[in-house]
Amino acid sequence: MYAVESLGSGQLVGHVIFHPWHGVSTWEVGWILRKDSWGRGLASELSLALFDHGFGRLGVDRIVAEADPSNTASIRVMERVGMVRAPELDRDLPVWQIERRS
């Protein structure tokens, strides 16, 4: 779990989780931001940074995220950063994924 700090103000604005998901080569990302920080592109920026970290330094093969179908904001973040629906991975919630490009 990573704390998310605003570069401008130094304020804590939320956290992200990034952890192995049902296997060592697939990791899950998830975000929770303070409401007054929504809509500024923070979740998209965080996701792209974690993709670099996961695919680059950690050697992860696939990164997934789960979202309730009503969570438009979360789904828009996933689409915006290049994740695609992966129905074959669905468990309790629909799953999106992005794979490492070789």
The residues of the shown chain that bind ligand COA, judged by CB under 6 A, are 30-33, 38-44, 67, 71-74, 76-77, 80
Smallest gap from Cβ 27 to ligand COA, in A, equals 14
Say how many CA atoms lie within 13 Å of 7 toward its Cβ.
4
Compute the least distance from the CB of residue 50 to ligand COA, in Å.
13
Judged by beta carbon, residue 40 or residue 84, the one nearer ligand COA is 40
Q: How far is the CB of 51 from ligand COA (least distance, A)?
A: 14
64-94 as b/e: b if 16+ CB within 10 A: bbbbeeeeeebbebbeebebeebeebeeeeb
Q: Give the residue with the Cβ less far from ligand COA, 52 or 80.
A: 80
Q: Which is nearer to ligand COA, 61 or 74 (CB)?
A: 74
Give 5's contacts (C-beta < 8 A, 6+ positions apart).
11, 12, 13
